[in-house]
């Protein structure tokens, strides 16, 4: 893509110089298609050194470049005892090396006009420098010093301990980070993925120099590193620099004790940090998503693009293409929301995060889950087409400089063993169909236990059982067992039981006036025995006519026969029924026709849900 831009700028300068009207008209009429721009993107070259270090670069011809080391290490590789060691080590990296003390290191970077930075995530750590292309050799040298020969003296460790503690306090004010850390803590509880990147403050106070040295020796190995560069770089020159400065990097482990990631387990659960003094509630809900190399990741990305995002500070309002965003803007449901998907080496986390006031938490939770159900059942061709265009635009827009491109190369080589080009992403996105979105979303979302994290005034947050019940839809469909609501997998072609449901609803409509008359009679002071006899007569008439017996299979006949049970003595009636309460009819369950039907629905729902879940699991495989 950058090469296309360079050619375009060169042609533009030539046309502007000669000012030929014909050439200028051709310039105005010429255009490059999206597919052509992707095909013209620079190639990413990859080379592996003898010690296992991989060198990857993309030459774009810019006057600047970004070069860095991406390492397969993060908070997931830590234990409960040393959680936060990677983040602590990130702070220690710029406090000087054995060759360059802190002052000398800072002067070297400043003299180059460069920017030296680092970050740590759950599975990756990166040290990178953005500088002029002509200063690439010096940048690689400084990076090798920072990573291999970091000065870990006790004085610097104690000084950075106070800095890390202050940063932990600052992060507590970033409620989005707090909420998403809590989400990981509850979703992957009992596994290393539950650890936060920063670690607890107790560890920041107790981590020693020896802990940092052991972490370096265990994880900073050549096969787990990628030297990545983008911009005005030459790949052969970069490989030569890597051999010069990184050939001595160790690739062996003491006692062949190679660190192996323990499998992570997703747990549907909930965690709340209620604070009514806070003005807004921060809520995140997620299900287990796809791992990095899964073929399902692209349909899930399209689904998230369809759901979209919203911020009250941005424009669009009710005219936004996302239905959830338009509803949130029109009804003022939230301040902001975003759909996210975090992928890891063997699992993932797909969910939604929103910020709202305490009065709209339940509404926003309901419509967020409703958007998920729509992805599983009713997503349309137009929805998918819009989502694919939005996803393509975001993938291209995020690579808007040498630093994002360098980061993309480093992470891809660690995750996939190669750089996945934009043309391949485009082809995979084009292959997504509405059926594929529905199938994949049903696999990961439909009737799955979610993980929920909430911070702030979250009193109105629905109970977890209600949240779990909203992960599927109840439908009145015709099946083997009757006509009541059945939990069925999406897109199962079963006809609606119109012929069977009509007599049931007719019975209810005919009996409602009778029940209301019985209630009025009870509240007017009629004796309990009279009310029970009246109700029993109603049930008996319907049962003897064979109407209900004919509607339901034989296993429900004993339940129906309960309706013909003789009335209980007054001494055995509930206290409120003896007092002539208007609830007497509903309290005496065996003699209430409405309660009999409700019992039937509950029994039927339990059987059909179990059968439907078994069928869904069989279809998923």
Q: Per-residue pLDDT tens for 121-162? A: 999 999 999 999 999 999 999 999 999 888 888 888 888 899
Closest CA to 120 of 159, 91, 158, 162: 91
pTM, two decimals, is 0.73
Among 573, 491, 575, smallest CA distance to 532 is for 573
Running DSSP on this structure, what letter comes out for residue 263? P
Of 58, 59, 78, 90, the active-site residue reads: 90
Instruction: Name the CA radius of gyration of the chain, rounded.
Output: 32
pLDDT tier at 492, thresholds 50, 70, 90: very low
370-388 pLDDT per residue, tens: 999 999 999 999 999 999 9
Looking at residue 194, what is its pLDDT? Answer: 94
Provide the b/e sequence for 533-546 (b: ≥16 CB within 10 Å): ebbbebbeebbeee
Q: What does residue 513 show for φ and ψ, rounded to 5 degrees?
A: -60, -40
Nearest to 369 by CA among 337, 343, 344: 337
Residue 37 and residue 4 in contact, taking contact as beta carbons nearer than 8 Å? yes
Q: Burial level of 431, CB count in 10 A (0-12/13-18/19+)?
A: exposed
Higher pLDDT, 534 or 213: 213
Give the residue-averaged pLDDT of 501-526: 52
Q: Give the residues across from 574 on adjacent strands.
A: none
Among the residue ranges 82-86, 264-268, 397-401, 506-510, the one predicted with the least confidence is 506-510
Q: d(Cα 615, Cα 618) in Å, to the nearest integer?
A: 5
pLDDT at 314: 81
Q: Please, which pLDDT band fits residue 506 given cuts at 50, 70 and 90? A: low
Mapped onto helix, strand or coil, the DSSP state of residue 60 is coil
Give the model's pLDDT for residue 35: 78
Residue 489 has φ and ψ, to the nearest 5°, of -65, 150
Per-residue model confidence (pLDDT) at position 4:
34
Over residues 392-405, mean pLDDT = 91
pLDDT per residue over 471-487, tens digit each?
998 765 444 444 344 44
Task: State the DSSP string of 552-617.
Answer: S-GGGHHHHHGGGSPPPPGGGS-HHHHTT-TTHHHH-GGG-HHHHHHHHHHHHHHHHHHHHHHHHH
* 8 A C-beta contact, residue 597 and residue 547: no
- Strands ordered across the beta sheet of 64-71: 44-48, 54-59, 225-231, 64-71, 125-132, 115-120
Q: What is the pLDDT of residue 475?
A: 60
CA 257 from centroid of its chain's CA atoms: 33
Residues 226 and 124: beta-carbon distance below 8 Å: no
Confidence band, pLDDT 50/70/90 cuts, at residue 588: very low
DSSP 8-state class, residue 23: H
Return d(Cα 435, Cα 441) in angstroms, integer. Answer: 10
Query: What mean pLDDT do residues 76-91 have?
Result: 91
Position 570 confidence tier, pLDDT thresholds 50, 70, 90: very low
Q: What is the mean pLDDT of residues 518-529?
A: 48
Is 43 an annotated catalytic residue? no
| Residue 61: partners with Cβ closer than 8 Å, 6 or more residues away | 2, 3, 6, 232
Whether the per-residue pLDDT at 431 is higher than 50: the answer is yes
Structure confidence by residue, pLDDT tens digits, 268-315:
999 999 999 999 999 999 999 999 999 999 999 999 999 999 999 887
6-54 pLDDT, tens digit each? 333 443 344 333 333 333 333 444 467 777 788 888 899 999 999 999 9
Q: What is the pLDDT of residue 596?
A: 54
Give, as one character, the DSSP assignment of residue 462.
P
Please determine, for residue 367, whether its predicted confidence score (pLDDT) is greater than 90. yes
8 Å CB contact between 484 and 601 = yes
Confidence at 593, pLDDT banded by 50, 70, 90:
low
pLDDT given at position 513: 57
Q: Return the pLDDT at 609.
A: 66
Taking residue 288's Cβ as centre, other Cβ atoms within 10 Å add up to 23
């Amino acid at each position: 893509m950058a090469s296309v831009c360079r050619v375009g700028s060169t042609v533009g300068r030539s046309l502007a110089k000669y000012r030929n009207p014909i050439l200028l008209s051709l310039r105005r009429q010429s255009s490059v298609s999206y597919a052509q721009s992707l095909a013209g993107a620079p190639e990413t070259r990859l080379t592996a050194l003898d010690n296992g270090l991989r060198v990857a670069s993309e030459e774009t011809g810019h006057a600047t470049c970004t070069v860095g080391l991406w390492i397969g290490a993060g908070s997931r590789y830590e234990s409960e005892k040393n959680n936060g060691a990677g983040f602590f080590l990130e702070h220690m990296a710029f406090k000087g090396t054995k060759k360059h003390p802190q002052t000398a290191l800072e002067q070297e970077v400043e003299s180059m006009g460069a920017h030296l930075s680092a970050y740590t995530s759950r599975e990756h750590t990166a040290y990178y420098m953005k500088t002029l292309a002509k200063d690439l050799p010096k940048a690689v040298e400084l990076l090798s010093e920072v990573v291999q020969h970091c000065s870990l003296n006790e004085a610097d460790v104690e000084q950075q301990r106070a800095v890390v503690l202050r940063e932990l306090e600052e992060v507590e004010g970033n409620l989005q980070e707090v909420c998403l850390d809590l989400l990981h803590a509850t979703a992957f509880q009992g596994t290393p993925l539950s650890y936060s990147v920063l670690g607890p403050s107790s560890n920041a106070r107790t981590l020693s120099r020896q802990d940092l040295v052991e972490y370096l020796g265990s994880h900073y190995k050549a096969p787990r590193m990628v030297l990545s560069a983008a911009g005005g770089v030459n790949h052969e020159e970069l490989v030569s620099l890597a051999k010069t400065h990184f050939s001595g990097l160790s690739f062996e482990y003491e006692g062949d004790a190679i660190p192996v990631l323990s499998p992570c387990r997703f747990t549907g659960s909930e965690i709340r940090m209620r604070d009514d003094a806070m003005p807004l509630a921060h809520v995140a809900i997620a299900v287990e998503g796809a791992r990095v190399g899964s073929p399902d990741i692209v349909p899930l990305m399209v689904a998230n693009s369809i759901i979209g995002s919203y911020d009250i500070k941005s424009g669009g309002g009710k005219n936004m293409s996302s239905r959830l965003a338009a509803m949130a803007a029109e009804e003022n449901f939230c301040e902001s929301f975003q759909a996210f998907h975090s992928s890891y080496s063997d699992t993932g986390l797909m969910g939604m995060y929103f910020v709202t006031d305490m009065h709209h938490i339940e509404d926003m939770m309901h419509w967020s889950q409703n958007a998920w159900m729509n992805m599983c059942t009713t997503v349309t061709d137009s929805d998918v087409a819009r989502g694919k265009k939005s996803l393509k635009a975001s993938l291209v827009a995020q690579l808007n400089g040498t630093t994002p491109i360098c980061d993309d190369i480093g992470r891809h080589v660690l995750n996939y063993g190669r750089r996945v080009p934009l043309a391949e992403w485009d082809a995979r996105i084009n292959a997504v169909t509405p059926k594929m979105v529905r199938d994949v979303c049903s696999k990961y979302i439909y009737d799955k236990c979610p993980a929920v994290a909430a911070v702030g005034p979250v009193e109105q947050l629905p109970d977890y059982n209600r949240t779990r019940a909203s992960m599927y839809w109840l439908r009145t469909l015709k099946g083997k067992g009757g006509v009541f609501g059945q939990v069925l997998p999406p897109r199962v072609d079963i006809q609606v039981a119109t012929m069977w449901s009509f007599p049931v609803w007719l019975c209810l409509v005919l009996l409602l006036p009778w029940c209301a008359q019985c209630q009025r009679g009870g509240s007017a002071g009629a004796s309990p025995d009279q009310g029970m006899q009246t109700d029993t007569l109603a049930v008996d008439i319907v049962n003897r006519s064979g109407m209900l017996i004919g509607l339901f299979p034989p296993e429900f006949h004993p339940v129906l026969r309960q309706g013909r049970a003789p009335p209980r003595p007054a001494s055995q009636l509930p206290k409120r029924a003896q007092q002539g309460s208007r609830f007497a009819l509903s309290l005496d369950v065996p003699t209430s026709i409405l309660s009999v039907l409700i019992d039937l629905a509950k029994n039927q729902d339990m059987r059909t849900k179990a059968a439907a879940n078994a069928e869904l699991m069989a279809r998923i495989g």
